[in-house]
Structure 1
Amino acid sequence: MKLLLDFLPLILFFGTFKYAESHKDWAAGFASEHFGALVSGGVVGPDEAPVLLSTLVVIVATLAQVLILKLRGRKVDLMLWISLVMVVGLGGLTIWLHDETFIKWKPTGLYLAFSVVLAVSERFFRRNLIRTLLGDQLPLPAAAWRRINAAWVLFFAVIAVLNIAVAYSVDTATWVNFKVFGITGLMAVFMVGLGVYIHRVLPPETPEAPRSTEEGPQ
């Protein structure tokens, strides 16, 4: 359930974009009729409609994520709050100004924010946020947690740069495919590599001493 909730905005963004891209005239009419008040000039063109509609959907989906967690009494992670601020701010600019550039910067801004938060927390506040999240499940030495935190900092920074490089090098449809499949694939590869490293440094379990079956003196 949590995994589905985490990926819900991305899935809805991709599905909305692909459908609207295949029905541009319908998407433009639908967006202009129902969401014209949110757009400067009140009219959405066929080439703008797919990204504007998918941006609107991802804003609503991210808001729904936070609302669902709140209603269930669950904690909203800092990263989700950052994601919400980014998607509402940059997504809102994309919709109002008819400019897809802003939503393309959203993953870069988000991953840079993650990278900075992890680095600053470790460097200046002596708080390893990755260890805070997973320390109870993985009894790793402090040096290993520092390396894992540094790996996440570097990975997020690389993805941030890679996203904007792709955004400015290809058309919007190709960027959407990269955002959904490329970044997700790179994340999966990174997680596998991280899992291999954790397996190597994870201390072996200490076997429990066998219980004595002998009875004491009567």
Structure 2
Amino acid sequence: MKQLLDLVPAAAFFLGWLTYDIYVATGAVIVALFAVVAAYWLLYRRLHKMHLFAAVAAGVFGSLTLLLRDPVFIQYKPSLVYTCFAIVLAGSHFVGDRVLLQRLPQKALVMPELLWRRLNAAWALFFLGIAALNMIVVHTQTEAVWVHFRTWGYSVLTMSFLAACLPFVSRYLQQDETSEDGA
């Protein structure tokens, strides 16, 4: 269900742009992001911090786009969000006894400390890289190219990076006990 919720803002943005323009798309993504925050709350009775941060960032940058009639603000938002993700991940190497990815609640992955640190650093660099790539696309391509990149590119790049990480972490995936006994 969470994966479907994650797709709603991108779909709303793309459909708003495809049907009308960047300003309708901006309004649609703001509404969609706050709707995702509310839906997550209703389903899980807790706030998802990344959804909330993305919604607030879209609210601020989207409002600037709408008020000033300048799409550059909404175009910069992904770079801001991804740079913040990178800083938080990188900063977790210096705060606390475990890196951020290691602190996330999960039971499926049990890895040595050094591998957690490397994986965390790799994700920080990945987010920094796509933040920079967004800025390159904003400043060198048309609005249409940027919209397609914003809608499809981040997902494709993220899934590709995740797939590239799998060979390094797959041996540390814990087997589900129910699958072993056929139940």
TM-score (norm: length of structure 1)? 0.75
Aligned length: 176
Aligned equivalent of 2:122: 151
In terms of fraction of residues, the more helix-rich structure is 2
Q: CA RMSD in A?
A: 1.9
Aligned equivalent of 1:95: 66
The 1:205/1:127 distance shift into structure 2, 3 A limit, reads closer
Distance in 2, Cα, partners of 1:151 & 1:76: 26
Aligned equivalent of 2:151: 180
Report the more deviating stretch, 57-66 or 68-77.
68-77
Alignment of 1:56 with 2:42, yes or no, is no
Aligned equivalent of 2:167: 196
Structure 2 alignment gaps of length 5 or more: 178-183
Structure 2 counterparts to residues 46-195 of structure 1, below 5 A: 50-133=21-104, 135-195=106-166
Report the more deviating stretch, 153-162 or 118-127.
118-127
Distance in 2, Cα, partners of 1:121 & 1:203: 22
Structure 1 alignment gaps of length 5 or more: 21-49, 209-218
Distance in 2, Cα, partners of 1:55 & 1:197: 38
Aligned equivalent of 2:15: 15
Q: Which amino acid aligns with 2:4?
A: L
Aligned equivalent of 1:4: 4
Corresponding residue SS for 1:72? helix
TM-score (norm: length of structure 2)? 0.89
Larger radius of gyration: 1
Cα deviation digits, residues 124-144 of structure 1 (max 9, x gap): 233422122254210111111
Cα deviation digits, residues 66-96 of structure 1 (max 9, x gap): 1112223432222222211210000010000
Q: CA deviation at 1:7?
A: 1.1
Q: Which amino acid aligns with 1:12?
A: A
Higher relative contact order (CA 8 A, sep 6+): 2
Cα deviation digits, residues 138-172 of structure 1 (max 9, x gap): 01111111111001000000000000111011111
Identity of aligned residues (%): 35
Report the more deviating stretch, 180-189 or 170-179.
180-189
Cα deviation digits, residues 159-213 of structure 1 (max 9, x gap): 00000111011111110011122222111110100111112xx35879x9xxxxx
Q: Which amino acid aligns with 1:82?
A: F
The 1:16/1:127 distance shift into structure 2, 3 A limit, reads same
4+ residue stretches of structure 1 with deviation over 6 A? Answer: none
The 1:82/1:203 distance shift into structure 2, 3 A limit, reads closer
